[in-house]
Amino acid sequence: MIEFGRDTLRFLRDNTRWIGAGFLLMMFSSFGQTFFIGMSGKALRETFHLSAGGFGGLYMLATLASAVSLPWLGRTLDVMPGWKVVRFTLPALALACVLMVLAPNLVLLTGALYLLRLFGQGMMTETAYTELGRWFIANRGRAMALIVPGQQAGIALLPVFVVLVDRAGGSWRAAWIASAGLIVLVGLPSILTLMRIARVPHSQEVKASALRTARSWTRAEVLRDPVFYLLQFGALAPPFIATVIFFNQDYLIALRGYDPLIFAAAFPVMSVTTVVFGLVGGHLIDRFGAVRLLPYFLVPLAVTSAALGLIAPVWGVYLSMFLFGISNGITSTMLGALWPEIYGLANLGGIRAMIVSAMVLSTAIGPGLSGLLIDHGVGLPRQLLWLSCWCVLACFVLAYAAWRVRQREAGPAALRAA
């Protein structure tokens, strides 16, 4: 374990530029994530005279529109260097923050939410995973694990930033203006500087991991591949389930009589566990390959959903958040390393854009579907048990998908080995 830690530190030291770029991309994606936008939810509802359902509908519409746009925009990562993509992505994200303040009507508010979701949640994470997937081969899992804490840093730091700026500025608008300034003055120059020099994998890495990166598929080939849809059946579970849980946390708190402060105190447990198990997952992926681990990565999420659905005492929240952290860490690393291992590197930006688009779509559907079920008498605890069953079924589907991938790669791999 000590040697593993030392090896990770050496790897980080040798690749600080590229890991730092990925870390910052993940952190600055926070401005388009649900948790950050939701902090201004009450103020936006009051300003635009929206009900909770009305604001949720606008948010779902904006998220769906971003999911439709992402496959087209993400293709830019295959035709230009990542730093050039960042050069327009970050200014667009800053513009969205300003538009949140200036929007005079619901149409422009929806447009602002669309831009936040597309360039924040969508393109920032898409750029991070795509570029890291190309820069690293033999240590792809470890590299992915080291950028995951960027998103956790955003979750830990930005809510405090928003509260302090709001109090100093006297309005919710101040935080959005400050966010735009932070993106343009800190994020843009820092990330551009780090990404200007692309990492070229060493020849030893390429040779050692020849079996870890597939031949390059086109997007059309991927869409015709039945295995792709089997993989999506499992890959869509984590974003869907996480959104359902966090969107309905107020409902769960009221249902079980939890103290909101005690519930909120469980989030750091999730964040720390996510970072630790991201590193563990990265080590396992580099050792065994993402495809071999594919059938097992949803097991922690299955246990998480079941625990949160069945355990009513407050200690169950902390257990669930601990398990959720295990799931988040392993999932984030797995889904970063999996796609180049199966579909290659040449068209990775466009392929990942399709995958991220589907994930964004799932985060739009989850809150609406869960709310509809609650309105019809299906409580969240029962829904969580159903979601746990989805994960268990997906493990078997993914096991079959992994077998199919290994079978079709056996021929080319044998030729390469010879």
What pLDDT does 235 receive?
Answer: 92
Q: Report the percent of the chain where pLDDT is more than 90.
A: 36
pLDDT bracket for residue 5 (50, 70, 90): low
| Predicted confidence (pLDDT) per residue in 47-87, tens digit | 998 876 677 778 888 988 998 898 889 889 888 889 999 99
What does the pLDDT read at residue 416? 47
- SS3 percent helix, strand, coil of the chain, rounded to 5, is 85, 0, 15
88 pLDDT band, cuts 50/70/90, is very high
Nearest CA-CA partner of 79 in 352, 350, 344, 343: 350
**What pLDDT does 387 receive?**
96
Residue found by looking up tokens 């984590």 in the block: 238
CA 400 to chain centre: 25
**Residue 153 neighbours by CB under 8 Å, 6+ apart:** 23, 27
d(CA 381, CA 359): 23
Provide the 8-state DSSP code for 218.
Answer: P
Check: CB of residue 368 under 8 Å from CB of residue 376.
no
- Give the CA angle between residues 393, 291, 85 to the nearest 5°: 105
Q: What is the reported pLDDT for 203?
A: 53
Rounded Cα distance between 318 and 331, Å, is 20
Query: What is the pLDDT at residue 366?
Result: 81
pLDDT in the model for residue 57: 79
Among 61-65, 131-135, 245-249, 251-255, where is mean pLDDT lowest?
245-249
Residue with token string 């508010």:
109
Average pLDDT, the chain: 85
* 220-231 confidence digits (pLDDT tens): 899 999 999 999
Other Cβ atoms within 10 Å of 124 Cβ, number: 29
Task: Please tell me the total number of residues recorded for the chain in this structure.
Answer: 418
CA distances, 195 to each of 80, 85, 125, 205, 282 (Å)? 13, 11, 15, 21, 22
Is 207 a residue whose pLDDT tops 70?
no
Could you give the C-alpha distances from 273 to 199, 202, 277, 324, in angstroms and in order?
A: 29, 32, 6, 8
Query: Region 152-169: what's the mean pLDDT?
Result: 81
Cα gap 34→193, rounded to integer Å: 28
**Exposed, middle or buried, 135 (CB in 10 Å: 0-12/13-18/19+)?**
buried
Q: Which helix (H) or strand (E) holds 244?
A: helix 237-247
Domains of the chain are 11-209 (1.20.1250.20), 211-418 (1.20.1250.20)
Asked whether the beta carbons of 343 and 401 are under 8 A apart, the reply is no
**347 pLDDT tier (thresholds 50, 70, 90):** confident
Q: Which residues of 174-211 are buried (b: 16+ CB within 10 A; e: fewer)?
A: bbbbbbbebbbeebbeebeebbeeebebeeebeeebee
| Res 418: pLDDT | 39
